[in-house]
Structure 1
Amino acid sequence: MPFVDISLVRGTSPEYRRAVSRAVHDALVTELTMKPDDDFQLIHELEPSAMVFPRDFRGGPRSRDWTVIRITDGLERGPQAKRRFYTTLVRLLGADPGIDPADVFVMMTLTPPENFSFADGVIGTDVVAIEALDAAAQNPGSRESYTKDEIAYAITQLFAHRDTSRILPMLRDDYVMSLPESLPYGGDYTGRETFEDFFAKTPGGADVWESFSSHVEQVIEADGYFAVQLTNTAVPKATGVPVVLYNLWLFEVTGGRIGGIRLYADTARVRG
């Protein structure tokens, strides 16, 4: 996830810039466990007059080859890993393209994953969750608990796309899903197969609705619960008249697993 911004004095060769890029990337992969294909960099060349620095403050002596490397990371790596990274970085830069360690200036900034979007308008927390859940899917039973971001992503996928694959492993064996008895499909549901079957089709089935679509307004996490606000647009088979239904789903999470699910259907806010 690190994003790297490198500033050099104007006049370096393409080979020089490639060597700097490679050294920074290799140091990140080696010491900060960055994925080899996670390689986002911008390299700038500046006029000497645009690079202002003291020759001997807290290091040096610095030369015309002063190199500034700014790294924005989404994960806290810890001081020991950073210490190793700085040491490896100056060693690699010294080997090729031959930058003196005194000329290497590094700044690392931590920003949470939600401040990243790699492409397609997808928030960084979802990207991290997808990668973690994909890895878990390759090793069934390898995860005993899930993070808040992973659960929030799985819940969003459930309602936005009726995709149960992400959330099924998160259900506790003794989970209970409770729906209001006033609904045609009200009652308590248990078991993963029952859960999967319920969300595989329109709630209540074709006997109740001609069409039914859901929009996730927001997912809020607090004190071991996830509250999901939905706006549903549907056409009841009985009337054929489109209606808008407002629902709140509450997911209870204990130890990183979902133990209880409850639907609150706001019939007072049904709009025809």
Structure 2
Amino acid sequence: MPITRIAVRAGKPAAYRKALTQGVHRSLMEVFKVPEDDIFMVVTEHDADNFFYGKHYLDIHRSDDLVMIQIVANNTRTSELKQALYKRIAEHLAESPGVRPEDVFVNLIDVPKENWSFGNGIAQYAT
């Protein structure tokens, strides 16, 4: 059910971008128990003129290898599960493709279940 957007600076190879999606999806499967086939992700690349961030916001020292991840998911997870997800994403991306934890920025947007249609004009999760 999540939809994920990953933004990076332009110039990373396809294998790097694929590793990002794999690491985020593995984290979602492990922590949020998302099914393996429930993957909807886009990766966008931005040149330096279109990629802005606070290099030292909250005393976290970010580099131009910053990865911005935005996940939209059902509003059914606890704060503890969300925090576990952020940690697991940082761990997986450190393993592959080698992103520093300081360069992993995650934003989670909670939405009601009825806010999804996976096709055919039907709100599959609406009750």
User: Which residue pairs with 1:204 in the alignment?
Assistant: none
User: Which residue pairs with 2:66 in the alignment?
Assistant: 66
Runs of 4+ off more than 6 Å: none
> With structure 1 as the length reference, what TM-score do the two structures score?
0.45
SS of the counterpart of 1:17?
Answer: helix
Q: CA deviation at 1:59?
A: 4.1
The whole-number CA distance in structure 2 between the counterparts of 1:26 and 1:39 is: 10
Q: Percent of aligned pairs with the same residue?
A: 28
CA RMSD of aligned residues (A): 1.1
CA contact (8 A) 1:4 1:72 kept: yes
User: Which residue pairs with 2:35 in the alignment?
Assistant: 35
The whole-number CA distance in structure 2 between the counterparts of 1:83 and 1:68 is: 16
The whole-number CA distance in structure 1 between the counterparts of 2:59 and 2:86 is: 14
The number of equivalent residue pairs is 127
1:231-246 equivalent positions in 2, closer than 5 A: none
> With structure 2 as the length reference, what TM-score do the two structures score?
0.95
CA contact (8 A) 1:72 1:109 kept: yes
Q: Give CA deviations for 1:168-197 in whole Å, capped at 9, x if unaligned.
A: xxxxxxxxxxxxxxxxxxxxxxxxxxxxxx
Structure of higher CA gyration radius = 1
The whole-number CA distance in structure 1 between the counterparts of 2:97 and 2:28 is: 17
Q: CA deviation at 1:124?
A: 3.3
Q: Which amino acid aligns with 2:55?
A: R
Q: Higher RCO, 1 or 2 (CA under 8 Å, sep at least 6)?
A: 2
State whether structure 2 residue 37 is matched by structure 1 residue 19.
no
Q: CA deviation at 1:75?
A: 3.3
CA contact (8 A) 1:8 1:65 kept: yes
CA contact (8 A) 1:115 1:124 kept: no
User: Which residue pairs with 1:241 in the alignment?
Assistant: none
State whether structure 2 residue 59 is matched by structure 1 residue 84.
no
Structure 1: state its 5+ residue gaps.
127-148, 150-272
CA contact (8 A) 1:5 1:41 kept: yes
State whether structure 2 residue 47 is matched by structure 1 residue 47.
yes
SS of the counterpart of 2:58?
Answer: coil
Structure 2: state its 5+ residue gaps.
none
Q: Give CA deviations for 1:105-157 in whole Å, capped at 9, x if unaligned.
A: 1100011122111111111324xxxxxxxxxxxxxxxxxxxxxx2xxxxxxxx
